[in-house]
Structure 1
Amino acid sequence: MCEELPVELCAYSISDAGKRCVLENYLARKGIVKYQCKTSEVVVETMSGWIETEACINDCGLDRNAVGISSDYLLSHNFVAKLCSQPCSSYCPNILDLYSNLAQAEGNILCTNIITYQHYTGNAENITT
């Protein structure tokens, strides 16, 4: 259950029931912002009980302290290039699943231009979509 995870492991984790964990913030007493891990209603069909590795967080250009689940990051060409880089796209299926589904919900396909470019050049680091 996501609510049992420490906040520093919450973002990009998946509960045993296959639901994405989401880091949320709230205003506590005296105006202090606090964080808590919650179970979202977003179901992951192919994985459960998953805590994302620090290697994937770094390779995919993510922030472990990201609050919520948002497709806003997909507007950044640099972010998409990092997601579609070989280390992220090959070794971080949870991250690719999350952002592919977010892109798909907005009518886009993640990494198509970059994958085509990789196929011809073997390098995804210098291309953006």
Structure 2
Amino acid sequence: MGSLYFLKIFTLCVVIFAFSIEATLGSIACENLNKDSCSFAVSSNGKRCVLEKSVRRSGEEVFVCSTSQIDADQVTNLIESDKCIEACGLDRNVLGISSDALLDSRFVQKLCSTRCYNGCPNIVDLYFSLGVGEGVYLPSLCRTEGDNKRRGMSEIRSSGYVAPGPMVPTKLMANGSPNMAPSPTGPY
């Protein structure tokens, strides 16, 4: 009976020790990362890290790594390798997380390259999720060629709300101030 009790206590101590080692050595908290390792990293809880910039009253720019609300798909505790950053055409100092890079045909070409697409699943997962949010399916975008690829990227451009133009034509006067045409419904 005493040996069973000892075995349970010993097992419990080993489990606690294992979790404490992981918590101190193996977990990534975005807030603890520096500027050069923040972008494209994933914390131990599966949230993506994001680099943000603030300006102090003195005018000094300060870069801070924060935890975003964006989940990584089945990835935790990862600081993206320099090989993947280079292979996918990314910049380690990018601020925020945005689908805007999908509008750049050179970036899409690098993202869809065999080296990036097959070798850097964290980055592909990120841009897959960003593309889905914009109505673009990344595997289809990567399969398309030339003009069709530009058409796929233009879908991203046209997915946002476009504010209507002025209701009445505007012309500039010689001094540069606007000269509004009369309203089609009459004066005020």
- TM range, normalised to the smaller chain? 0.7 to 0.9
How far does the alpha carbon of each residue in 1:72-111 deviate from its partner, in whole angstroms, 9 at most, with x for none?
1111111111100010001000000000110011110114
Structure 1: where are the runs of 5+ without partners?
118-125
Shift of 1:6: 1.4
| Equivalence map 1:27-66=2 (5 Å) | 27-66=55-94
- Judging changes above 3 Å, is the alpha-carbon distance between structure 1 residues 59 and 66 closer, same or farther for their aligned structure 2 residues? same
Letter in 2 for 1:47: V
Q: How does 1:80-91 map to 2 (within 5 A)?
A: 80-91=108-119
Post-superposition shift, 1:128? 7.6
Q: TM-score, normalised by structure 2?
A: 0.61
Give the equivalent residue in structure 1 for 2:155. none
Residue in structure 2 matched with residue 77 of structure 1 by the alignment: 105
Structure 1 residue 21: Cα displacement = 0.2
- Match in the other structure for 1:121: none
Q: How far has the Cα of 1:54 moved from its partner?
A: 0.1
Aligned length: 121
2:108–2:142 Cα contact (<8 Å) kept = no
> In structure 1, what is the equivalent of residue 133 of structure 2?
105
Quick check: 1:2 aligned with 2:36? Answer: no
8 Å CA contact 1:14, 1:51 repeated in 2: yes
Q: Which runs of 4+ in 1 moved over 6 A?
A: none
> Bigger radius of gyration, 1 or 2?
2
1:45 Cα offset (Å): 2.9
CA RMSD of aligned residues (A): 1.7
Which secondary structure state, in structure 2, belongs to the residue aligned with residue 58 of structure 1? Answer: helix
Q: Which runs of 5+ in 2 are unaligned?
A: 1-28, 150-188
Asked if the contact 1:78/1:128 (under 8 Å) is kept, the reply is no
Task: Please say if residues 39 and 93 of structure 2, whose CA atoms lie closer than 8 Å, have aligned partners that are also in contact.
Answer: yes
Counting only pairs closer than 5 Å after superposition, residues 19-34 of structure 1 correspond to structure 2 as: 19-34=47-62
For CA contacts below 8 A with separation 6 or more, give which structure has more relative contact order. 1
Q: Given residue 61 of structure 1, which amino acid in structure 2 is its aligned partner?
A: G
| Identity of matched residues, % | 44
Which secondary structure does the structure 1 equivalent of 2:138 belong to? Answer: coil
